[in-house]
Structure 1
Amino acid sequence: MTDYFEPWLKYKHPIVRQLAFCIASPNIIQHLPDELEIKNRFEVHDTGFWQQQYIDFQTRLDQLDHDPTPLIEFLQQLKSTRLGLRFEYLFWFWLQDEANQHYQLIQHSIQIIEAKNTLGEIDFLVRNQATKQIEHWEVALKYYLGESNLQLMHWYGLNRSDTLLRKLNHFSKKQFQFTQALDFKIEKRLAIMKGQLYLPNLADLTVLPSWINTQHRLGQWGHHIETGYYRLQRHEWICPDLEQSSPVAQWWCNGLYHNTSTLQFYMYRQAPLVFSFDINA
């Protein structure tokens, strides 16, 4: 598939491009894998949902691209350099912004405490203005490299003990265990998993697992050097800047690379250290 919905590429300011990506990009999975053992059921939004959220927020994004001050000031609350937290704060800005007419943000980052013990934390508690339902949202920015036959257990994060399977199990068993928060009954649970999946070079695209969202651009990974790629800065893992941020690579080190001509992403790893990246680590 070569025709992707990638409207974030039209914006000039890096932080607005990142916000547009957070809103418009589809989840990296399009449904829960059959291999996943479900304890507490949850859902993922379909691609059309995110496209509509972008369309309805587009005027506000255009305004921010002209003057990003409100967005910049909001993110100044964030003291950490972790991209996972940056992603979460971008989502927070969108949900609390008055231009977002679809959701009322009830609260962000709710600790669930029982008898002085912290049982867990809820990323976002929101009211769906159309259905009037109370929804629990968990957000994650993820980068996984597929190996072997690309089945669920073979997608690895920065620490190889952190797999896509483990993250989905954590959603089901831990993060979505709660039935109420702040005296609200939780009526729907939704996981927002954005970022990118990387296929090994020469992977057969006709035999991808059905849960992989092919409406999302897939990257490649490997330990050999490609031509025409430049290395992305850390914040560009969310979305590359409008202007190329470094020269075309002559010397390669582990990291994410981008080709402005093809818009392809390549995750380079020195053999035999075959890892991928979990920005939330």
Structure 2
Amino acid sequence: MSKPTLPLCPAQTKAPWASFTRPYVRDLAYVLACPNVLTQWLDFAPHQSTHEVEVHPSEFWLAQFDAYRQRLDELDTTHAYQNLTRYLLSRPSPNRLGFHFEGLLSFWLEDGFARGLHPYETLANNVQLYNGKQTVGELDLILYNHSEQLIEHWELAIKFFMGASPFTPEHWVGINSNDNLQRKMTYMQTKQFRVVWVDTEAHGRVKIDKRYGVIKGRFFLPINTIDFDKPDWLTPTFPLHEWCDKNDDATLATLDTSTLRAAHYIEWFTKRDFYDARQPLATCL
């Protein structure tokens, strides 16, 4: 699949995160309000499965967004924004998409818990997994849910995938053709979600009670797809856009190129004005 151009979806302007002015606040609002891509966890490795994996419904994320909305407004209009920027920029590789996603969720978890806006206390993050002395992976977030009095493991993924018929999980693929939804879920299930006990610096050794896959992002349908039948595992409100191959001259000739953005747009979650100053698509792709 060659590098595509991505028509900007007009519906994005109506999204909950679009009303915020400051880029990092808009991204944080997006991270909260965007639903999980999945309505349910799909087991692609039943013979290697040892634990049940759950997903939060879209109602959960909208509730978190609503509970945090006043704080988002404060971050967007006052000097409190500096707290968010300092936090994000102090983290490793803050401009990489996955690390940015993790940083935003971590800020909300810590800031929201301190303000009594949700029950999730962060016990540990980026917990290294070892095989002997060799690092073989890490766990993203270990949380204590004070409402249910349970230790939860949240594994995070932010994915901007292009779809192709028949639109099964293996046919939602990233810019790197080796990256697809099925492969990512299988890895999470057979690697990170197999862990039972976790050693934390501040809370000692804890036993995981629940596991959640948090997979967000955007999906892009082939342009001019007609009567797309959403699979039952795909959350109905998950952001859907379109993609078009840059070499598809016939289709590109029918489009208003001012509504298009090159594939590098997916470096961020929400619109960045500096992309508008880039060269025309015909020369920049």
| 2:222–2:244 CA contact under 8 A, matched in 1 | yes
TM-score by length of 2: 0.80
Question: How many residue pairs end up in the alignment?
Answer: 252
| 2:97–2:267 CA contact under 8 A, matched in 1 | no
Letter in 2 for 1:27: N
RMSD, aligned CA: 2.5
Letter in 1 for 2:66: I
User: 1:184 and 1:205, CA in 2 relative to 1: closer, same or farther beyond 3 A?
Assistant: farther
Of 137, 142, 145, the residue aligned with 1:120 is 137
Alignment of 1:93 with 2:107, yes or no, is yes
| 1:104–1:129 CA contact under 8 A, matched in 2 | yes
| Runs of 4 or more above 6 Å deviation | 2-5
Letter in 1 for 2:96: R
User: 1:33 and 1:87, CA in 2 relative to 1: closer, same or farther beyond 3 A?
Assistant: same
User: 1:53 and 1:162, CA in 2 relative to 1: closer, same or farther beyond 3 A?
Assistant: same
Larger RCO (CA under 8 A, 6+ residues apart): 2
User: 1:112 and 1:33, CA in 2 relative to 1: closer, same or farther beyond 3 A?
Assistant: closer
Tell me, in whole angstroms, the C-alpha distance in 1 between the residues paired with 2:128 and 2:185: 20
Note the C-alpha offset of 1:253.
Answer: 6.6
Of 152, 157, 175, the residue aligned with 1:158 is 175
Instruction: Write the deviation string for residues 2-23 of structure 1: whole angstroms up to 9, x where unpaired.
Output: 9898321111101100011111
Alignment of 1:246 with 2:276, yes or no, is yes
| 1:231–1:248 CA contact under 8 A, matched in 2 | no
Tell me, in whole angstroms, the C-alpha distance in 2 between the residues paired with 1:206 and 1:221: 14
Instruction: Write the deviation string for residues 166-208 of structure 1: whole angstroms up to 9, x where unpaired.
Output: 0010011011110111211100010111111111123244522
Tell me, in whole angstroms, the C-alpha distance in 2 between the residues paired with 1:22 and 1:158: 21
Tell me, in whole angstroms, the C-alpha distance in 2 between the residues paired with 1:222 and 1:92: 34
| 2:151–2:210 CA contact under 8 A, matched in 1 | yes
Equivalent residue for 2:7? none
Equivalent residue for 1:196? 218
Tell me, in whole angstroms, the C-alpha distance in 2 between the residues paired with 1:198 and 1:238: 14
Equivalent residue for 2:84? 71
Per mean C-alpha deviation after superposition, the further-off stretch among 75-84 and 62-71 is: 75-84
Note the C-alpha offset of 1:93.
Answer: 0.7
Alignment of 1:37 with 2:45, yes or no, is yes
Residue ranges of structure 1 left out of the alignment (5+ in a row): 255-269, 271-281
User: 1:245 and 1:153, CA in 2 relative to 1: closer, same or farther beyond 3 A?
Assistant: closer
Note the C-alpha offset of 1:238.
Answer: 0.6
Instruction: Write the deviation string for residues 66-118 of structure 1: whole angstroms up to 9, x where unpaired.
Output: 13110011012135231111111111111111234321011111113354343
| 1:229–1:249 CA contact under 8 A, matched in 2 | no
SS in 1 for 2:243: strand
Equivalent residue for 1:144? 161
| 1:33–1:152 CA contact under 8 A, matched in 2 | no
User: 1:249 and 1:217, CA in 2 relative to 1: closer, same or farther beyond 3 A?
Assistant: farther
Aligned-pair identity in percent equals: 31
Equivalent residue for 1:84? 98
User: 1:154 and 1:234, CA in 2 relative to 1: closer, same or farther beyond 3 A?
Assistant: closer
| 1:126–1:134 CA contact under 8 A, matched in 2 | yes
Equivalent residue for 1:277? none
What are the residue-to-residue correspondences of 1:99-118 with 2, within 5 Å? 99=115, 100-113=117-130, 115-118=132-135
| 2:128–2:139 CA contact under 8 A, matched in 1 | yes
| 1:6–1:25 CA contact under 8 A, matched in 2 | no
Note the C-alpha offset of 1:120.
Answer: 2.8
SS in 2 for 1:176: helix
SS in 2 for 1:207: coil
Per mean C-alpha deviation after superposition, the further-off stretch among 7-16 and 74-83 is: 74-83
TM-score by length of 1: 0.81
SS in 2 for 1:45: coil
SS in 1 for 2:194: coil
Tell me, in whole angstroms, the C-alpha distance in 2 between the residues paired with 1:192 and 1:253: 37
Instruction: Write the deviation string for residues 220-239 of structure 1: whole angstroms up to 9, x where unpaired.
Output: 11124331414376576311
User: 1:118 and 1:244, CA in 2 relative to 1: closer, same or farther beyond 3 A?
Assistant: closer
